[in-house]
Structure 1
């Protein structure tokens, strides 16, 4: 079966997607969004690595995904949006990625090296102290980060590691914190001065 795509973007919603082994990719596809799509980790990796000019990948409510692995060195992917993939446990990201939007449980970003990410928007739907997330899950993976938006629900004051990474390029920081189970007086705005 040969599929020819003449447009530069595709949105697939509520379908089951099994990528054939001889899939040659969509040669002109720059943007794809998978919403409510049944796709496995391996099929997603095959799909993305077979799209030569893909710049934006959107993934929402894909219930079968446990790992997003986009670390193919020649992949031109620049923008990744991942929302509400409840089984997702880790993301291995592409070196050239410049923007990440993510909402879901706190997970580890495990790039093959440092990322060029400049813009990151994270909404965590589990209890996780924001500073702890920034310094333990992001750490040295995003040294060129310029914009960070982080939505967290906090139940306790963060315990920070002894040596903190410096975000030298950070220009814009937006923290939206919801405090549950602990009085606000236990948190101190000066905790965030280390950023």
Structure 2
């Protein structure tokens, strides 16, 4: 969900390739941090990278396959504005919760378990709600629980919410009906059913 960072990474790798150079992961991560707020892995299928300095980089195996029903709001928040928010107190207050989420991410990727990944995303989303409250956040959270979905994730701005699911296992049409018949549509009126893909930049 970090489209701006994906654009930066792809542009940097393509430009370097055109000039006859290869970018290693640490260099690419640093470029992404300097060019824009770093929110996504640069080259490998799943990495964790410090959003502000790129000083911490931890590689993970590819995440398990799953789908997302992406709910989109007409509202936007500029990344630069988001980074002006005082987030450190909230992050420190949620340190144990975020540590648990990180452990679940690693387990999910090592075991190929979408349920664990959904749990990790949900824990992180709840912590994010304390940093930047999203109106109507409880409604998609309740839907995840009542429909037995894997979990939900949010973009840093809250303008995008993703319901993590398996379109072969979960009734997407029923979910869409539930969404239309609830207050959720007032906050996130647009829906997109997407498959999660491995991240990173691949030269072809």
Normalising by structure 1, we get a TM-score of 0.31
Higher strand share: 1
Normalising by structure 2, we get a TM-score of 0.30
Higher helix share: 2
